[in-house]
A and B are shown apart, each in its own frame.
Chain A
Amino acid sequence: MITFKNVTKTFHLDSKTSISPVKDVSMDIASGEFIIITGRSGSGKTTLLNLSAGMVKPNSGRIIIDQTDLADMTDRQLSTLRNQKLGFVFQFPSLLSSLNVLENVTLPGIFDQGQNEKTIKARGLDLLKTMGLADKAAVYPRQLSAGEQKRVVLSRSLLNKPQVILADEPTSDLDEQTELEVMNLLRGINETGVTFIMVTHSLQLVPYASRAFNMENGILAEISRTGSKL
């Protein structure tokens, strides 16, 4: 599904200093896997996710999604890829403040030609229901708790039925109970065949993963493998 071949990303902060948050990373993620990536702050996890979505271009190495090298894709094709095949859950609050919950959730539908508004809306409401947010559809993001916002973002990432979800700390600032609920939701979605790459700080989530990696100074290392989904 997603293959990294010796990917390195270097940011040049100024003419002398540069930093490489992703160093010579290679990995091969199969369809339907649930990958967890842990690591200390600043180790390069977000950069890795950004690379996977084509939002950051690698300095060297190749990133291949569904047999297509991202480097061979035009900006427009990358947009379509992100819209159709990927779902992104950001580390930072990412709901548009001027749109209500349902409008936020259905936003990816705007860029998907050939879908009509009604189906998009119905699907959005359906997702909100699954997340236990059916009654919040008309509410604005600032009126939601952090956990509710996370779940709205998750709903948004699922709208166009993506094949891969790139989730950057989807359970940070959630209490343990809610974290558990969200993880069970994610597992449920994973069981329908959606591939997950999830970044998290909490090691106790590792058992949810089919494989877990740790990142340190830009270097990715596999730390556990269950061989089968839990």
Chain B
Amino acid sequence: MQLLKLALKNIRGSGFRSVAIFLCVMGVAGFLLATTIIIKGAEYSLDSGLKRLGADILVVPTGAENKVETALLMGRPTDVWMPESNLKAISAIEGVQSVSAQVYLSSLYGAACCAVSEMFMVVYDPATDFTVTPWLEKNLGRELKTGEVIGGSYIFVPPDEKYVRLYGYDMTLMGNLTPTGTGIDQTLFLTMDTARAMAASSLTTAVQPLKIKDGQISSVLVKVKPGADTHAVALRIVRDTQGMVPIESPNLFGAFRTQMNGLLWGFFAITVAVWALAMLLIALIFSMAANERRREMAVLRAIGATRGFIFCTILTEAGLLALSGAILGIIAAAGCIFMFKDYLAESLRMPFLFPSISSFLALFLGGVALAIVTVTLAALLPAYRVSHQELAVAMRE
């Protein structure tokens, strides 16, 4: 306890050095955490998005893979079509348990209901759907009626209004799905009946009518049988059908994942470099400080401090600075990310979902531990040198 007290006094006593080390640790820990949260947040977001879709394989028209991925990832509407007969063809394939068709529509520019200019609308088939139906069963206890919709977490009814109005057609927002950080958060889910009602209404109420192509769908969501090999099923879809491509769920957003991995390594390399530099700087500051304090430490030795005590005080100082710096840095970084997460996701053009409390806590503890270990390591050599110095020499300086 006495040692802790002395270390604290020393920290307070050597203001500049303490502040320098503190800031160093704070900056690096904050930076490290920020990058990790962003990357983890993107991964978390993708995973929640995939879970939300609920499909093992997503089948889309040939050549439309990127469009669909972007639509799902960023919520930007897309216009892709294939014949409805594809649905039957897929369901006939060995290993397929269930299939459900979706139709992708787009709102007109500037819909008032949403944080985005054009809204992505997904028309699902209540008879086969497994994307929103589980949510409906749990939260609403029934299927959507005509004129009822549910939305991603960003969809809202404009203030002072009762309905979400698109193409001049009023719909009741029955609820919001939990956030995923992906384009699904900006997506409106509706049944074919509602879509047709909207299209019919749009002829008289909208500047431009909503067109739904008869006998056409945009994508097919596939669930494979338990125990069936998803990849084998995907290969069979390629072999046995024409004009469509299967995207296995883990590969969905594949291009984005690759890009993100590149980013991850970039971040990682920068972080390692920054960390190493900071370590070097801290080690330097510590050995400078240690030199400055050689005489003080010799005095302590002369009045009864053991080598171990000297060694421990210096390491304790380092540890305390690391602890406080890391805690503050991490909290500051996390706070900033939390406050600016929407802006961040937009400017980095990547999905983002703030990690859950438990994984944030793990990151927090990991970051603090890493900071303490590395800073203590940086102080190890100076601490050893000072505690084992020749007293006669140190006192003559």
Complex interface: chain A residues within 8 A of B385 (CB): none
Q: Are A90 and B299 in contact (CB under 8 A)?
A: yes
Closest Cβ of chain B to A106, distance in Å, is: 10
**Can you list 15 A-B pairs, Cβ within 8 angstroms, ordered by A?**
A47-B392, A50-B392, A75-B306, A76-B306, A88-B302, A90-B299, A90-B302, A97-B13, A98-B10, A98-B12, A98-B14, A111-B304, A111-B309, A156-B303, A160-B304
- A88-131: contact bitstring with B at CB < 8 Å (1 yes, 0 no)? 10101010111100010001101110000000000000000000
Whether, in the assembled complex, B301 has its beta carbon less than 8 Å from a beta carbon of chain A, the answer is yes
Complex interface: chain B residues within 8 A of A11 (CB): 392
- Please choose the segment from A26-34, A63-71, A79-87, A201-209 that sits at the chain B interface, where 4 or more of its residues have CB less than 8 A away: A79-87
Q: Are B9 and A111 in contact (CB under 8 A)?
A: no
Closest to A153 in B: B299
Whether, in the assembled complex, B295 has its beta carbon less than 8 Å from a beta carbon of chain A, the answer is yes
Closest Cβ of chain A to B262, distance in Å, is: 49
Whether, in the assembled complex, B296 has its beta carbon less than 8 Å from a beta carbon of chain A, the answer is yes
Contacts from B to A (Cβ < 8 Å):
2-3, 6, 9-10, 12-14, 295-296, 298-307, 309, 391-392, 395
Closest Cβ of chain B to A77, distance in Å, is: 10
Complex interface: chain A residues within 8 A of B296 (CB): 96-97
Complex interface: chain B residues within 8 A of A182 (CB): none
Q: Are A79 and B12 in contact (CB under 8 A)?
A: no
Residue of B295, B303, B309 near A108 (CB, 8 A) is B303
Q: Are A92 and B295 in contact (CB under 8 A)?
A: yes
Residue of A84, A94, A108, A111 near B306 (CB, 8 A) is A111
Q: Are A55 and B303 in contact (CB under 8 A)?
A: no
Using known A-B contacts A47-B392, A108-B304, determine if residue A96 contacts B309 with beta carbons closer than 8 Å: no
Closest to A87 in B: B303
Q: Are A83 and B303 in contact (CB under 8 A)?
A: yes
Residue of A79, A156, A160 near B305 (CB, 8 A) is A79
Complex interface: chain A residues within 8 A of B306 (CB): 75-76, 79, 111
CA distance A70 to B242 in the complex (A): 94
CA distance A108 to B299 in the complex (A): 11
Closest Cβ of chain B to A111, distance in Å, is: 4
CA distance A97 to B298 in the complex (A): 14
Using known A-B contacts A96-B296, A98-B10, A98-B14, determine if residue A56 contacts B302 with beta carbons closer than 8 Å: no
CA distance A92 to B391 in the complex (A): 14
Q: Are B304 and A92 in contact (CB under 8 A)?
A: no
Q: Are A84 and B391 in contact (CB under 8 A)?
A: no
Residue of B9, B303, B307 near A88 (CB, 8 A) is B303
Closest Cβ of chain B to A213, distance in Å, is: 21
CA distance A99 to B5 in the complex (A): 11
Q: Are B295 and A99 in contact (CB under 8 A)?
A: no
Closest Cβ of chain A to B225, distance in Å, is: 72
Q: Are B392 and A79 in contact (CB under 8 A)?
A: no
Closest to A77 in B: B306
Q: Are A82 and B303 in contact (CB under 8 A)?
A: yes
Closest Cβ of chain B to A107, distance in Å, is: 6
Whether, in the assembled complex, A215 has its beta carbon less than 8 Å from a beta carbon of chain B, the answer is no
Closest Cβ of chain A to B180, distance in Å, is: 53
Closest Cβ of chain A to B295, distance in Å, is: 7
Q: Are B10 and A55 in contact (CB under 8 A)?
A: no
Using known A-B contacts A55-B392, A92-B395, A110-B2, determine if residue A83 contacts B304 with beta carbons closer than 8 Å: yes
Whether, in the assembled complex, A53 has its beta carbon less than 8 Å from a beta carbon of chain B, the answer is yes
